[in-house]
Structure 1
Amino acid sequence: MTAFLAKRLGFGFLTLVVASVVVFAVMEILPGDPARVMLGMNATPEALETLRNQMGLNEPVLLRYLNWAGGLLTGDFGRSYTYSSPVVDLIGERVIVSLPLAIISLVLSTAIAIPVGIYAAARRGRAGDTVSMGAAQLGVAVPNFWFALLLIYVFAVWLRLVPAGGFPGWSGGIWPGLKSLILPAIALALPQAAILARVTRSAMLEVLGEDYIRTARAKGMPRRYVLWRHALRNAMIPVLTILGLQFAFLLAGTIIIENVFYLPGLGRLVFQAITQRDLIVVEGVVMLLVASVVVVNILVDICYALVDPRLRVRG
């Protein structure tokens, strides 16, 4: 198990190094001058030169990359040009919104998808299977931002059960904060639950056709016991893969939903930084998201090894 973890950690670190080079290079080749965007088109050449020196834009590219990468290793993500604040502080203020939103969405999608997928697989070809997979297909097809607008109209405007947008902050209490995240979490969770339900159904159907499942049924084991104790555990490998990808998507892909609900999260911070040409903020947030994806993938690999011990030997 130690060699298994060491190999995964080594691949994760290598991924972060390659990602840092790619992110920095992409930010460098983007057209436009951050100093001119900040000062405006009427800025004098002297003012532009002074700001470029303050931002370190006149230094060699390799030196700027090494300084930036070294800062990442020490937790220094640089200083925002627009907000005049450390990028770490900006991320810390926004991640307390995006992370709970991603976790709530993942829990909701998992709680919905796995029982639906098992139910559909156990009733293959019947009405329950057709209705469940039809609803899942609809969930995949409907854009989450349109579904978010529908939720706002029904539950916020018409029924007035939850706020339509905004975030009061956790200082006002846990319930007001969670209440403002309910609709965004549902808007994010249902499309992901539709995908996960279809994957769970396919994995369960493949496992249910195996010889050891028929043997268990022939021995007189209850159908419920065979489904949940034997079939589900062996079908969890593809399900865990999708869960890991979904968490990374929910954490990194909430730009549209956070803007629809006016949530001050990481997605909205990236959107604002891109429009304001605040590249140091974009680089810092993107690298944080890349690191979160790497960590989630390592955790998923560990879960693989726990579910199927044979993978530890192969790894």
Structure 2
Amino acid sequence: MVRYSLKRLLSLILSLAIASVVIFCVIEVAPGDPASFMLGINAQPDTVAALRAELGLDVPKWLRYLHWVGGMLQGDFGTSYTYHTPVSGMIADRLWVSLPLALYALAFSTLIAFPAGIYAAARRGKAGDMAVMGATQLGVAIPNFWFAMVMVLIFAINLRWFSAGGFAGWDKGFFAAMKSLTLPAISLGLPQAAILARVMRSALLDILGEDFMRTARAKGLTRRQALWRHGLRNAMIPVLTIIGLQFAFLMAGAIIIENVFYLPGLGRMVFQAISSRDLIVVESVVMLLVFAVILVNFLVDLAYAAVDPRLRSRT
């Protein structure tokens, strides 16, 4: 297990190094100069040059990359060009919105998908199975931003159970903050629950046809007992993969939902930074999200080994 974990950790570090180079290069070659954008089209060349020097944009790109990476390793993400405040502080403030939102949406997705997938697999070909698969097909087809607007129309405008947007803040209390995140979490999590339920059903159906499942039935276990005692654990590997990918999507792909609900999260901050050409904010937030994605994949790999000991014996 230790050797397996070290190999995955080395892969994580290498992936982060490659990702940092790609992110820096892609963002730096994007058209538009931040200094020119901030000063406007009528700015004098010497004024633009002075601002570029103040922002550190006049040094070679390779040196800027080294400064950026070195700062991140020490917890310093640089200073925002637009707001003149440390990027690390901006990220910390907004992470307390985006991370709970992603976890809330993932928990909501999992709590719906697991029972639905198991129920459909246990009733393969029956009315319950067809109903679950029809609902999941609808969930996959509906765009989450459209679903978010429907949720706002029904639960915020008509029923007035929730606010149409904004974040109450954790200082208002846990339940007030979570209530602000409920509609966004449902909008994010329900389409993901549809995908996860279909994967759970397919994985369980594949396991039900294995020899060890027939042996368990031959020993006297009912279909349901064999499913819960032996089938579920063996079906978890593809499901864990999807859960890891979904968390990465929920963290990095919530830009539209955060803008629909006016949430002060990382997604909305990236959108605003791109609009204002605040490159250091874009680079740092994207790198942080990439780190979250790679870290989740690393943890999923470890979960694979915990669920299936055969993976540990191959390393």
Q: Give how far 1:222 is off.
A: 2.8
Does the 8 Å contact 2:122/2:224 carry over to 1? no
Q: What's the offset of the Cα at 1:89?
A: 0.3
Cα displacement string for residues 100-143 of structure 1 (whole angstroms, at most 9, x for unaligned residues): 00001001101110111111111111111111001000000000
Map of 1:238 onto structure 2: 238
Q: Distance in 2 between matches of 1:149 and 1:11?
A: 40
Residue 188 (1) aligns with residue 182 (2)? no
Q: Deviations over 1:206-245 (max 9, x none)?
A: 0000111111112211332211121010000000000000
1:142-182 C-alpha deviation (Å, 9 max, x unpaired): 00011111111111111111111100110111111000000
1:34 maps onto 2:23 in alignment: no
List aligned pairs for 1:23-172, cutoff 5 A. Answer: 23-172=23-172
**CA offset at residue 271 of structure 1?**
0.2
Q: TM-score, normalised by structure 1?
A: 0.99
In structure 1, C-alpha distance between the alignment counterparts of 2:36 and 2:76, rounded to whole Å = 25
Q: Which residue of 2 aligns with 1:301?
A: 301
Letter in 1 for 2:308: D
- Give the structure 2 partner of residue 5 of structure 1: 5
User: What is the total number of aligned residue pairs between the two structures?
Assistant: 315
The CA distance in 2 between the partners of 1:261 and 1:289, in whole Å, is: 21
Q: Which amino acid aligns with 2:247?
A: F
Residue 56 of structure 1 and its aligned partner are, at CA, apart by 1.4
Describe the superposition over 1:226-266 as per-residue Cα deviations: whole angstroms up to 9, x where unpaired.
11121010000000000000000001100000000000000
Q: Which residue pairs with 1:283 in the alignment?
A: 283
Aligned to 1:268: 268
Query: Structure 2 CA distance, aligned partners of 1:207 and 1:75?
Result: 46
**Identity over the aligned pairs, expressed in percent?**
65
Distance in 1 (alpha carbons) for counterparts of 2:277 and 2:121: 49
C-alpha separation in 2, matches of 1:229 and 1:259: 44
**How many angstroms apart in 2 are the aligned matches of 1:5 and 1:231?**
26
Q: Aligned partner of 1:246: which letter?
A: Q
**Inter-partner Cα distance in structure 2 for 1:74 and 1:118:** 46
Aligned-partner Cα distance in 1 for 2:61–2:221: 66
Residue 20 (structure 2) aligns with: 20
SS of alignment partner, residue 71 of structure 1: helix
Paired AA for residue 102 in structure 2:
A
Partner of 2:258: 258
Gaps of 5+ in 2: none
Distance in 2, Cα, partners of 1:34 & 1:5: 42
1:179 aligned residue: 179
Do the aligned partners of 2:184 and 2:257 also contact (CA within 8 Å) in 1? yes
Q: Secondary structure at the match of 1:194?
A: helix
Measured in 2, the distance between the counterparts of 1:115 and 1:158 equals 31
Tell which deviates more after alignment, 152-161 or 269-278: 152-161
Q: Partner of 2:290: helix, strand, or coil?
A: helix
Report how far residue 55 of structure 1 moved: 1.3
Supply the distance in 1 between the matched residues of 2:61 and 2:274 (Cα, whole angstroms).
Answer: 21
SS at match of 2:43: coil
Which amino acid is the alignment partner of residue 224 of structure 2? R
Q: Whole-Å Cα distance in 2 between the matches of residues 26 and 86 of structure 1?
A: 23
2:59 counterpart SS class? coil
For the aligned residue pairs, the C-alpha RMSD in angstroms reads: 0.8
Q: After TM superposition, where is structure 1 displaced by more than 3 Å over at least 4 residues in a row?
A: none
Give the Cα–Cα distance (whole angstroms) in 1 for the partners of residues 73 and 241 of structure 2: 28
The answer to whether the 8 A contact 2:244-2:300 is kept is yes
One-letter code aligned to 2:123: R
Structure 2 counterpart of 1:302, one-letter code: L
CA–CA distance in structure 1, aligned partners of residues 313 and 191 of structure 2 = 36
